[in-house]
Structure 1
Amino acid sequence: MDRQPVLEGERLLLRPLEPADWDALFAVASDPQIWAVHPMHNRWQEPVFRAFFADALDKRGALAVIEKSSGEVVGSSRFQGYDPMNGGSVEIGWTFLARRLWGSGANAEMKRLMLAHALGHVEVVNFRVGEDNVISRKAMEHIGGRLTDQIDMTDTPNGPVAHVVYEITRESFATGPLSRAA
């Protein structure tokens, strides 16, 4: 599975994240409100975001999200943890968008593009969401994510954080809210 494809929708273009995206992406990420309910609520700070950005480049699964109408970088997401065994799975996560796009359908378009790409190669896409991140949990339910009984603990500089896991299967995507046919 290509974890850094170019994906194009009506309003968004997703392409591999590049080092030259730093300034534009940090301009979006430096909004503290984006991270207010996120487990890494200090990611708006430059040193913390610099580590996040470097990790995204190192793991080679990150995408820059471009608003086609303006040409601006408006966020990022990643494909991580690709496992081709038993039908295959991959995780979509580390997603954030400029606040001006919240509630606009941009997140749903981005996830639809990423899910359609991933589910052409794997049977299941997983999403790890901070247990207390009510905004992201609501977004997962909105796009058809099914809450599993899996809980992952992650050590962060802010202490251990519990993440719940949602999944979307090839079958549930085909009939779910992000399906073009639904």
Structure 2
Amino acid sequence: DFERLYAVACDPRIWEQHPTPTRWQRPVFENYFAGAIESGGALRVHRAADDQLIGCTRYYALDLAASVVKIGYTFFSCDSWGGGYNPACKQLMLDHAFQTLERVQFEVGQCNQRSQIAMARLGARRLGVSEVAYHGEASHPNVVFEITRAQWQQR
């Protein structure tokens, strides 16, 4: 699956606002992919109409005691932007998470305006900014968002 996913991820436009804007480069993406596999929560995203692989996302940092999981590390092919795939994907993931958990959090690069707008549209509440180190990378400031089960059910 690495080659198929990298064929999507190698477009530099995907990573322009990301804290790691070089993720389109193969060695940098190899690190991302290793983190995805190690997380145990990575998901490929396929377009239903033609089964084309268009991106990737994941659950991570599951904390059962606190009843919270994080969703992130998401990217989509540029040709799928604006097609409703990201909100549909997040809706499926949130519906699944809220079957057993009370909270879902998202960590979004502080410079990633596209994803911050997407979080607001999803109804996520901004909690603040924290330093986050992606798998094998330096830390960067990230805006932390959260949605509770009650908020999600009231939408």
Fold conserved (TM > 0.5)? yes
1:50 aligns with: 30
The whole-number CA distance in structure 1 between the counterparts of 2:137 and 2:97 is: 32
Q: Deviations over 1:82-130 (max 9, x none)?
A: 01114x0000000001111111111010000000000111000000001
- Superposition pairs of residues 99-114 of structure 1, within 5 angstroms: 99-114=78-93
Give the TM-score taking structure 2 as reference length. 0.94
Distance 1:68 1:51, change over 3 A: same
Alignment counterpart, residue 119 of structure 1, candidates 73, 98, 104? 98
The gaps in structure 2 that reach 5 residues or longer are none
The gaps in structure 1 that reach 5 residues or longer are 1-20, 177-182
What RMSD over aligned residues (CA atoms) do the two structures have, in Å? 1.5
The whole-number CA distance in structure 2 between the counterparts of 1:155 and 1:106 is: 27
User: CA shift at 1:160, angstroms?
Assistant: 3.9
User: CA shift at 1:144, angstroms?
Assistant: 0.8
Q: Deviations over 1:36-61 (max 9, x none)?
A: 00001000000000111111111211
- Superposition pairs of residues 67-78 of structure 1, within 5 angstroms: 67-78=47-58
2:5 aligns with: 25
Give the TM-score taking structure 1 as reference length. 0.80
The whole-number CA distance in structure 1 between the counterparts of 2:62 and 2:132 is: 19
Aligned length: 154
SS in 1 for 2:108: strand
Q: Which amino acid aligns with 2:101?
A: V
Residue 163 in structure 1 maps to residue 142 in structure 2: yes
Residue 35 in structure 1 maps to residue 30 in structure 2: no
The more displaced of 54-63 and 33-42 is 54-63
The whole-number CA distance in structure 1 between the counterparts of 2:139 and 2:69 is: 23
The whole-number CA distance in structure 2 between the counterparts of 1:165 and 1:159 is: 17
Q: Which amino acid aligns with 1:144?
A: G
The whole-number CA distance in structure 2 between the counterparts of 1:102 and 1:169 is: 26
2:151 aligns with: 172
Residue 92 in structure 1 maps to residue 71 in structure 2: yes
Q: Percent identity?
A: 38
